[in-house]
Amino acid sequence: MPQEHGARARQREQTRLTLLREGRRLFAELGYGAVSLAEIVTAAGVTKGALYHHFDGKTALFRAVLEDVQEEVGRRVAGAADARDDSWDQLVTGCQEFITATTAPDIQRIMLVDGPAVLGWTEWRAMDEASSARHLTEALTALVDEGVIAPQPVAPLAHLLSGAMNEAALWLATTADPADLTDTRAALGRLLGALRVG
């Protein structure tokens, strides 16, 4: 009997992962508004009942996909930052990696375009805050404590930087010039450099 429960639990988890994978693929390719529940369950090879067992509906599935995308971007940012020893280099590298990671079309569509539109600005901001803004705040706090950045309230600075990076990522989603990513990364470097004391 315990083996049977374990097999069912694995099957349920596999179904959930398949729904997330196919949901992400369809949301990225077509956009949230153009994807139907029927398309999602057909692509996943499951019934609508199976989808409803895991998610309350299309919006709940989208929210879970967005969380996965945010976690993926967060891992990339943290991995790039953690490869540096110096806390200033960690901040700059992490911010630059965020800009680069969010140029991927599926990430742009899900995280920056459909995310706020589908979930509403307040919920999207709360998710963004929980996923990446906290790490940015921690990094800035450490730099203020080390005297690398002038003493100041960190919360407004973190929100300004986060907003600037999100806006830059949104703009990059609309431009066709490959040089714009290089120019944006250079502008971000200058913006961050202006924060450094001395």
- pLDDT tens digit string along 133-172? 788 999 999 999 999 999 999 999 998 999 899 889 889 9
Closest CA to 165 of 97, 71, 88: 97
Q: Which of 36-40, 87-91, 98-102, 131-135 has the lowest mean pLDDT?
A: 131-135
Query: Does the pLDDT of residue 18 top 60, yes or no?
Result: yes
Angle at 158 between CA 129 and CA 94, to 5 degrees: 85
User: What Cα–Cα distance (Å) separates residue 54 from each residue in 11, 14, 19, 175?
Assistant: 12, 11, 9, 37
Check: CB of residue 133 under 8 Å from CB of residue 159. Answer: yes
Query: Does the pLDDT of residue 174 top 90, yes or no?
Result: no
Confidence of residue 176 (pLDDT cuts 50, 70, 90): confident
Check: CB of residue 36 under 8 Å from CB of residue 62. Answer: no
Confidence of residue 48 (pLDDT cuts 50, 70, 90): very high
Residues in the chain: 198
- Dmax of the chain from CA atoms? 67
Give the integer Cα–Cα distance in Å for 69 and 28: 11
Round the average pLDDT of the chain to a whole number and report it. Answer: 92
User: What Cα–Cα distance (Å) separates residue 29 from each residue in 22, 48, 68, 102?
Assistant: 11, 21, 17, 16
Query: Does the pLDDT of residue 198 top 80, yes or no?
Result: no
What is the C-alpha R_g of the chain? Answer: 20
Residues 101, 107, 109, 115: is their CA dihedral positive or negative? negative
Q: In terms of C-beta density within 10 A (0-12 exposed, 13-18 middle, 19 or more buried), how is residue 102 classed?
A: buried
pLDDT (0 to 100) of residue 128: 84
Neighbours of 136 (CB within 10 A): 22
pLDDT (0 to 100) of residue 96: 96
